[in-house]
């Protein structure tokens, strides 16, 4: 069963083709790495999949809904987190979670239970009244991830979720990603850390608006005759 089905999706801005006829599927519960150089079209493609940008042509089904006709319903079924924006710094941990819950129309009683459950899981219950700008970055990222899943989405889009944290915190974050995936949530993730690409079940590499390579990390390395994902990326982009 697929969570994401993208078919011939294209986005043009004037004469510039940002995303050029991309086609791929992502399975339910899969961790899918979406790689590419800066300016390759990743962000535009991701915005379309989140229902934030209409495609120029092509179609897609996200969480079972049609991108062109049902983008409102898609938003209810997806979570989104990026390192740059996800939480309000001047609200407390609890206020941030409540705000997101209300935005997603989660009934109050259910919301309170879920928040309590998440805060306990995150070991943040005791500090729930701290402002977000008072907590370390690694905690913020875990909180942002939990908040993005408060409405129990089918798919979570993670845009460079681990930029700027130390190697231990980065690994702790990935264990959360794996936990979510093992519960059946589909993870769609971009990263500039090539070791993280290896944690994905499949990866795609985009260049000049097209998906040029797609497969499991092992398959792609064999196909290109390289030892590491880092080499794969370098060889691919330079060719």
Figure out which of the listed residues 182, 183, 222, 223 binds other proteins, where binding follows CB under 8 A: 182
- Backbone phi, psi, residue 25, to 5°: -130, 150
Structure tokens at 118: 């998440």
Q: Of the two residues 52 and 137, which places its CB atom closer to other proteins in the complex?
A: 137
Contacts of 76 by beta carbon, 8 Å cutoff, 6+ apart: 104, 151, 153
Q: How far is the CB of 208 from other proteins (least distance, A)?
A: 12
State which of positions 47-86 bind other proteins (CB under 8 A).
none
Rounded Cα distance, 190 and 212, in Å = 16
The residue whose two tokens read 């979406």 is 34
The residue whose two tokens read 């510039």 is 16
Rounded Cα distance, 182 and 176, in Å = 10
Of 235, 196, 222, nearest in space to 35 by CA: 196
Q: Of the two residues 111 and 211, which places its CB atom closer to other proteins in the complex?
A: 211
Q: How far is the CB of 74 from other proteins (least distance, A)?
A: 27
* DSSP letter assigned to residue 158: E
Is residue 217 a contact residue for other proteins (CB under 8 A)? Answer: yes
Q: How far is the CB of 157 from other proteins (least distance, A)?
A: 17
State which of positions 133-172 bind other proteins (CB under 8 A).
136-138, 160, 163-169, 171
Span from 4-12, 32-40, 50-58, 89-97 in contact with other proteins (CB under 8 A): 32-40
- Asked if residues 48 and 62 have their Cβ atoms less than 8 Å apart, the reply is no
Structure tokens at 213: 């390579």
Span from 3-11, 51-59, 67-75, 229-237 in contact with other proteins (CB under 8 A): 229-237
Q: Of the two residues 157 and 199, which places its CB atom closer to other proteins in the complex?
A: 199
- Asked if residues 48 and 206 have their Cβ atoms less than 8 Å apart, the reply is no
Q: Contact positions toward other proteins, by CB under 8 A?
A: 36-39, 136-138, 160, 163-169, 171, 174-175, 178, 182, 192-195, 198-199, 217-218, 228-230, 233-234, 237-238
């Amino acid at each position: 069963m697929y969570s994401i089905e993208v078919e011939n999706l294209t986005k043009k801005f004037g004469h510039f083709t940002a995303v050029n006829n991309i086609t791929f599927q992502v399975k339910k519960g899969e961790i899918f790495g979406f790689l590419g150089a800066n300016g390759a079209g990743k962000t535009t493609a991701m915005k379309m999949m989140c229902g934030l940008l209409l495609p120029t042509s092509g179609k897609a089904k996200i969480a079972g809904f049609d991108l062109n006709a049902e983008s409102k319903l898609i938003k209810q079924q997806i979570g989104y987190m990026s390192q740059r924006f996800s939480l309000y710094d001047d609200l407390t941990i609890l206020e941030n979670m409540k705000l997101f819950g209300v935005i997603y129309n989660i009934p109050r009683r259910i919301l309170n239970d879920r928040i309590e459950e998440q805060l306990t899981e995150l070991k943040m219950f005791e500090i729930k009244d701290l402002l977000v700008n008072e907590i370390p970055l690694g905690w913020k990222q875990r909180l942002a991830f939990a908040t993005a899943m408060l409405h129990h989405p089918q798919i979570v889009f993670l845009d460079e979720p681990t930029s700027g944290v130390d190697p231990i915190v980065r690994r702790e974050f990935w264990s959360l990603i794996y936990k979510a995936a093992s519960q059946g949530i589909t993870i769609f993730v971009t990263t500039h850390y090539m070791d993280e690409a290896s944690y994905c079940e499949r990866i795609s590499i985009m260049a000049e608006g097209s998906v040029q390579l797609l497969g499991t990390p092992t398959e792609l390395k064999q196909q290109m005759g390289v030892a590491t994902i880092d080499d794969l990326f370098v060889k691919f982009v330079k060719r």
